[in-house]
Amino acid sequence: MRWGMFSLSQIPDQRVVVETLDEHFSQFRLAEELGYDSIWIAEHLFSTYGIVTSTQVLAAAIARVTSRIRIGTGVVVIPFNHPLRTAGDFGLVDVLSHGRLDFGVGRAYQPHEFVGLGLQMEQSRQMFNEGLDIILKAWTDEKISYNGTFWKIPEPVEVLPKPVQRPHPPVWMACVSPDSFLASADAGYNIQMATPFSYRIYREVWREKLAEQIALYEAQCKKTGRDPKAAKRMMLVPLYCDADRARAKATFGAYVTWFYRKVSGHQLGAKKEEVIVKGYELAMAENIRSMKEGYLEFERLSEFGAVCASDPEGCAEYLIDLRDRLGIDEFVLWSSVGGLPNENCQASMRLVKERVIPMVEAAAAKATVAA
């Protein structure tokens, strides 16, 4: 088992951006001190939903204040930048970190970001596929030229620096829909899953649906001659641990509620109308249903396991169940949801490391022996 922490850099009060980011860096350093395996960061535009507009900038900064812990992106939005710039920037991040980059990629899902950049959201999957192809070629080929639909590189160019990790940093694909699981199987990418995304689509049965999609992924791997267990499986979970179970829920609830209301507002768009974009039909329609039917309220989020706020025993029980159902290799735990205070985040990180992780790993070892 591997253990990571996640930061979306959600800062509802923009008067304290500098101080809050300093606190986030104290959490990154603490994660390394406590022995966590990874730090995962994300990028978003035009909203306090997440103020980091460039994961390469934040990853480079983290690389220079840590020495061992891996640095993952959850995710780099491929359509939002020229892929040669993305390849060069993250090649540099891998160099600065001495080969600690995990390259998580996706195509974005919030309409207001595409509107702000003047991009056609319905073209995001094609842009993602083309952009990622360019990035991987730029990392592995001495020079690259390309004649794509969205990006053209007419003369061969050499992208430098090349990554330290060869042939390139591990690639992780954000997987929610069956199509994304199949694409990851075909390419051999590691899998990024996240309870907030799967739950908003599948609600009460999100775990069962994920198990079905993983079975689909494994079948596709076998069909293409790949080992279905070779790629790593990561699960992002909003989780807050406190010695007192009731206090954990009372503390975490308001911050989780802020997060879900924020993402729901983005789903509706600037005019507060329902938005359904081609290529996102399932996710957008089901997100709207989840919002309208009250599934994004904290009590139901807790009831159906989209978030976990509990004591160490409750947190361990929750994570063991996910591991057993879905074969998770790495849990990435998100405590700093919606601006949860730094002292609460750090206390949760410490308690998880001291008490939760040993229980989960003991259960994993027991299951391995039994198998």
First to last CA, the chain: 16
At 265, the pLDDT band (50, 70, 90 cuts) reads confident
For residues 302 and 256, give the distance between their C-alpha atoms in angstroms, rounded to a whole number: 10
What are the angstrom distances between the C-alpha of 358 and each of 1, 31, 315? 11, 16, 12
State the DSSP H helix or E strand holding residue 71, giving kind and residue range, or none if neither.
strand 70-73
Domains of the chain by start residue, with CATH: 2-370 (3.20.20.30)
What does the pLDDT average to over 257-267?
A: 86
Residue 357, pLDDT > 60, answer yes
> 150-180: per-residue pLDDT in tens?
999 999 999 999 999 999 999 999 999 899 9
Q: What is the pLDDT of residue 271?
A: 61
Handedness of CA 87, 119, 50, 321 (dihedral sign): negative
Instruction: Name the 3-class secondary structure at 99.
Output: coil
Contact 279, 180 (CB under 8 A): no
Contact 98, 164 (CB under 8 A): yes
Could you give phi then psi for residue 41, rounded to 5 degrees? -130, 160
Q: Is beta strand 144-147 parallel, antiparallel or unpaired with respect to 152-157?
A: antiparallel
| Per-residue tokens: 97 | 């970190």
Residue 209, pLDDT > 80, answer yes
Q: Please provide the size of the chain in residues.
A: 371
Residue 228, pLDDT > 80, answer yes
Contact 247, 85 (CB under 8 A): no
Q: What is the pLDDT of residue 269?
A: 59
What is the percent of the chain with per-residue pLDDT over 90, rounded to a whole number? 92
Q: What is the pLDDT of residue 131?
A: 98
State the maximum Cα–Cα separation within the chain, in Å, rounded to a whole number: 62
> 72-130: per-residue pLDDT in tens?
999 999 999 999 999 999 999 999 999 999 999 999 999 999 999 999 999 999 999 99
The per-residue DSSP string of 259-312 comes to HHHHHHHHHHTTTT-----TT-HHHHHHHHHHHHTTTTSHHHHHHTTSSEEE-H
Q: Where are the beta strands (DSSP E) in 178-297?
A: 190-194, 233-241
The per-residue DSSP string of 12-39 comes to S-GGGHHHHHHHHHHHHHHHHHHT--EE
| Per-residue tokens: 54 | 């460039």
| Per-residue tokens: 112 | 């207001």
Q: Where are the beta strands (DSSP E) in 171-266?
A: 171-174, 190-194, 233-241
What are the angstrom distances between the C-alpha of 8 and each of 116, 220, 253? 20, 32, 17
